[in-house]
Structure 1
């Protein structure tokens, strides 16, 4: 109990450090929300093998951009060893006089439960946009794209030690997108002149480690603090106006995030989850447009 209170206190203190957090940003290509990579907050497995989720989120991004999104997710427990997940996402951005919306990605994942404590996940992210949305015939930066536009491989492993849940995963792009944004294509007085050029953008992969600790507050209410470091493996690249490939310095490195999950069980079939996330540490350069200084996600679950 003492360790539980200490862990919870540290997490709360981190979230209260708003002056630091709001000056930073978190970056994630989507795999931290894969079902098997999120904290397991289920009270019991029961006999219901199907679960449908609908969710919506709001986030504060770089350069005075607000992001909104929603998703549909289906989880299927095939047997006591195998589970399958499918997720469809959308994303909208608004800021600097520009508003965009579009389909994002489809995530498909299979999870194998090796033992009561260990599971393995193999999945993929399928893009539903090429990341080259335009306005007035000019390509927009990645900050206004609904998808990274990459086809990705996702591999992960989960391990439980008593109540502590550990996840390690990697998401590696197998293809790159079709973005053509040059900051120099915009007028001198345009705010987009200050964005990072991403023509022929080449994004590196990410490594994730999550540590979480579910805490039961009441019979139907649970809180789960979570620490989420994500390491961007190498610097990203783009091709400049002279057709030279340029490395974007500072885009490699660590982003350290904190999450708090609040779960309320309405009954044996229905539940609600609120997830709030903020970063503690970020990379110097984030050309992929995924930076979030704050994000809140509300999700409704139904089992059948």
Structure 2
């Protein structure tokens, strides 16, 4: 309990007082908002730099239910010729801690290929295709051996395809994207099984908020990012909205054996993102971000219910 309270206090301090980031996941997406053309805080001149880039990022967030989530990311981008870029992103560690449960494990890997379609004095048009690869099947358990809800899974447990495009100028970035799950995770979270395993009454009251996910099918998402950028010789900043709309409700198998929609899991999520960065040289710099969820769907069976998020990252080009 003391450890959780200390971690939660630290995350609150980070969220409110940390400077704000760049190449970071927003509050509530399934990972595709930081892939290729869909990334925040892109500069038009970046596409003309024929360099490899390594990014290391650490993220701290607070969920709607008060859980603390920490994750680390490694991101490498290669320029291929004049118009192509390959991005690989790995989340080797994610930890979720609440007053009642704690999990940690591998998360997801991402692979994205981006093409510069148009380049002019007015801006650039980029298009990307990519994939999300799970590093586990979403089967993390409580100490009693019972599977926990998606909020406590370090990976979504699905193979996904992603496509998107962005138009970026010196001042504006507009990006649209689509993410489609191709598989189902192995998670078989049943609330009654966890309750029957003898958890405390407080933990039982806490866990009721999470929908059951058996043979869980996540709906597809569309994304719209609108961002205003501010740039000087070494400093940059951005302010934007990240909008994600789930086209279909998620589905889960009920005790009757039927695979039914989970009511309230489709619809819109809106996040506000504010970031800044400092460039030490043409080859390295740091970035910071704060994101705040402004509007969300009624239910979040996928566990992507982050209310506040703060990131700090470092990058180098070589």
TM over 0.5: yes
Decide whether the 8 Å contact of 2:27 with 2:309 is kept in 1.
no
Counting only pairs closer than 5 Å after superposition, residues 207-222 of structure 1 correspond to structure 2 as 207-216=222-231, 218-222=232-236
CA RMSD of aligned residues (A): 1.9
Matched, 1:53 2:67: no
When residues 40 and 150 of structure 1 are mapped into structure 2, their CA distance, relative to the original with a 3 A threshold, is: same
The residue number in structure 2 matching 1:130 is 137
Is 2:300 the counterpart of 1:279?
no
- Any residues of structure 2 matched to 1:224-263 within 5 Å, and which? 224-263=238-277
Structure-1 residue corresponding to 2:149: 141
Contact 1:27 1:286 in 2 (8 A): no
Moved more, 158-167 or 27-36: 158-167
Cα gap change, 1:194/1:94 in structure 2, threshold over 3 Å: closer, same or farther? same
Q: CA deviation at 1:162?
A: 5.8
Give the gaps of 5 or more residues in structure 1: 1-14, 17-24
- Cα 1:250–1:73 shift into 2, 3 Å: same
Name the counterpart of 1:299: 313
Deviation at 1:229, TM superposition (A): 0.7
CA distance in 2, matches of 1:103, 1:251: 25
Q: Indicate the SS of the match to 1:138.
A: coil
Task: Deviation per CA, 1:21-66: give whole Å up to 9, x if none.
Answer: xxxx942101112242123444744654100010100000132211
Offset, 1:163: 2.5
C-alpha distance in structure 2 between counterparts of 1:171 and 1:138, whole Å:
30
Q: TM-score, normalised by structure 2?
A: 0.84
Report what 1:99 is aligned to. Answer: 102
Q: For residues 281 and 169 of structure 2, what CA distance do their matches in structure 1 show?
A: 28
Report the count of equivalent residues: 281
Structure 1 residue 226: Cα displacement: 1.3
| Contact 1:48–1:303 (CA under 8 A) maintained in structure 2 | no
1:196 partnered with 2:211: yes
Indicate conservation of the 8 Å contact 1:41/1:263, yes or no: no
Matched, 1:112 2:115: yes
Q: Is the 8 A contact 1:273 1:298 kept in 2?
A: yes
1:134 is displaced (CA, Å) by 1.4
Aligned counterpart in structure 1 of residue 78 of structure 2, from 76, 79, 91? 76
* CA apart distance, 1:97: 2.4
Quick check: 1:130–1:177 contact (8 Å CA) kept in 2? yes
In the alignment, is the contact (CA less than 8 A) between 1:26 and 1:255 conserved in 2? Answer: no
Partner of 1:170: 178
CA shift digits 1:206-244 (9 cap, x unpaired) = 10011112112x421111111111001111111122212
Distance (Å, rounded) in 1 between the aligned partners of 2:293 and 2:241: 10
SS at match of 1:132: coil
